[in-house]
């Protein structure tokens, strides 16, 4: 009986994955990547990828409030937050997920990704598709900056 339950769950899971694959195309292999505001439309796909990655990274660096980490008890050193989001067929950022060492940092990361401007959606075979995008956010904690008296 246990085997049948496991087989049934595997079948259901594989159907779920196949359903996602029809509407989603990975950023690394998409024919036409989503276009970030400010990236030129006439660039090659490789150049568009680089432009989008650069613009998203600059956006996160500009808007992420590293002071959120203050008082959370992290030792000096690197902190990593893994971000995953999707750019849907309308160019909207959806499905934002963050995984990090503290809930407040995850919330801040989601807040920053929510501030991203609308994209021109990615295309596969001439049709707009949803494109998942992963971004590791790594920054240094230096508690000496927070412990100085003003």
Condensed to tens digits (0 to 9), the pLDDT of residues 60-91 reads: 999 999 888 877 888 888 999 999 999 999 99
Q: Is residue 58 part of a domain?
A: yes
Q: Is residue 12 part of a domain?
A: no
13 CB-near residues (< 8 Å, 6+ apart): none
Tell me the pLDDT band of 118, cut-offs 50, 70 and 90. very high
If you average pLDDT over residues 98-103, what whole number do you get?
A: 96
What pLDDT, on the 0 to 100 scale, is given for residue 107?
A: 96
Tell me the pLDDT band of 112, cut-offs 50, 70 and 90. very high
d(CA 2, CA 8): 10
Q: Is residue 102 part of a domain?
A: yes
pLDDT digits (tens, 9 = 90+) for 2-33: 444 444 444 444 333 433 446 888 888 899 99
**Residue in the structure block whose two tokens are 């989603």:** 24
Q: Is residue 109 part of a domain?
A: yes
d(CA 128, CA 145): 46
Q: Is residue 103 part of a domain?
A: yes
d(CA 51, CA 66): 24
d(CA 58, CA 23): 28
What's the domain count of the chain? 1
CATH assignment at residue 29: 3.30.1150
Q: Is residue 5 part of a domain?
A: no
Tell me the pLDDT band of 109, cut-offs 50, 70 and 90. very high
The model's pTM is 0.77
141 CB-near residues (< 8 Å, 6+ apart): 69, 74, 75, 76, 77, 78, 79
Containing structural domain, residue 31: 25-147
Q: Is residue 7 part of a domain?
A: no
Q: Is residue 4 part of a domain?
A: no
């Amino acid at each position: 009986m246990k085997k049948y339950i496991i087989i049934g769950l595997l079948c259901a899971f594989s159907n779920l994955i196949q359903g996602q694959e029809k509407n989603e195309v990975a950023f690394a292999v998409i024919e036409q990547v989503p276009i970030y505001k400010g990236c030129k439309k006439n660039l090659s796909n490789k150049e568009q990828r680089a432009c989008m990655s650069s613009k998203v990274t600059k956006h996160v660096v500009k808007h992420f409030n590293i002071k959120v980490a203050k008082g959370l008890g992290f030792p000096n050193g690197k902190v990593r937050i893994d971000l995953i989001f999707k750019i849907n067929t309308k160019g909207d950022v959806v499905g934002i997920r963050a995984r990090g060492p503290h809930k407040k940092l995850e919330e801040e990361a989601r807040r920053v990704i929510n501030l991203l401007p609308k994209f021109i959606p990615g295309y596969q075979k001439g049709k707009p598709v949803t494109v998942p995008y992963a971004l590791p956010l790594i920054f240094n904690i230096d508690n000496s900056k927070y412990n100085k008296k003003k």
